[in-house]
Amino acid sequence: MFQDQLVSYSGVQPSGNLTIGNYLGAIRNFSSYSEKYKCFYCVVDSHAITVRQVPADLRRRTYETLALYMACGLDPEKNTLYVQSHVHEHTDLAWILNCFTMFGELSRMTQFKDKSAKHSDNINAGLFTYPVLMASDILLYQTDVVPVGIDQKQHVELCRDIANRFNQLYPDTFTVPEPIMAKSGAKIMSLAEPTKKMSKSDENANAVVYILDDKDTIIRKFKRAVTDSDTCVRYAEGKDGINNLMTVYNAFTGKTFDEIEREFEGKGYGDFKMAVGEACADALAPVQQRFKEFMADKAMLEAQMKKGAEEASYVARRTLSKVQKKLGFVQVR
């Protein structure tokens, strides 16, 4: 579709304040793909409503997520940046793919089990079929690679299964995508419960560092991070809190675990926590400044939404039309 250029696809939900886990595991790495791939970056607002949203908050965060994409280095001239609900082909294809996805496959999805437990008063069908819409997002653009965190890898594997199943019945319809993982910081854990993934929906504000937290807040949260009774900064089994802080420090500084251990040899956890907080805050400062500038220009953001939707729709329509023809749907122009 793009001649010899491979396609990369990613999406982020505007369902909460984005964390350093979102940044290190996904968003920060996005800009590096644009030289090698034709990249589509989506604000996946349709996914967000599987959990009840405050409408005003969802609208605001949709703007904020687009602004953060750009603040983190995504050039709209090199990448297609758009909002999912602005391209109806996503939901059109999702219904078709629902008919090629097995109930048992969806019932085994880890995120469905986790979110059902967390939102037991709202276990809706959209929450169950969320991975099919994600497959639609990816397959619409004949995607070759999907940069993901560990928690989304299972969904990409399901997407591959759906694509292969459809291709067996209707050959040469979809490109079968490959998940690619970040080299570092792929999974950042909670500062309060380091055996759990850092989550933007965590009710404990001290457990999460947000991309837009100010420097004092970032340092305070790292100072309060749960560690262990040891005082040695080293990566080892049973030291979940320190292992997590070393992962964060490695991701922001590029230093290996061996280098980190040597740097803090003979020093206590207090010194290390302070260093991690400062490294994080210093790295996020330019992102936060660019974000403020973009958010101050709402007209520019809306123009980008329109431009991005037009670019995405052009490609998405071609895939959807191809699928509909193979299924036998009558198409009238």
Query: So which residues are the catalytic ones?
Result: 115, 197, 200
Q: Which residues are CB-contacts of 95 (< 8 A; sequence separation ≥ 6)?
A: none
Please name the residue that has the structure tokens 């191809």.
322
State the Cα angle at 192 between 111 and 181, rounded to 5°.
45
Give, for 110, the enclosing helix (H) or strand (E): helix 110-118
Residues in the chain: 333
Give me the torsion for CA of 210, 211, 215, 219, rounded to 10°. Answer: 40
* Position 88, amino acid: H
Give me the torsion for CA of 30, 31, 34, 37, rounded to 10°. Answer: -20
Nearest in space to 109 (alpha carbons), one of 66, 154, 70: 154
* Position 293, amino acid: E
Tell me how far CA of residue 138 lies from CA of 158, 249, 254, in angstroms.
Answer: 11, 32, 31
CA 58 to chain centre: 17
User: Can you tell me the distance from the alpha carbon of 111 to that of 97, in angstroms, rounded to the nearest whole number?
Assistant: 19
Nearest in space to 6 (alpha carbons), one of 244, 178, 229, 197: 178
Q: How far apart are the first and last CA of the chain?
A: 22
DSSP string, 2-60: -TT-EEEEEEE--SSPPBHHHIIIIIHHHGGGTTTEEEEEEE-HHHHTTS---HHHHHH
Give, for 6, the enclosing helix (H) or strand (E): strand 6-12
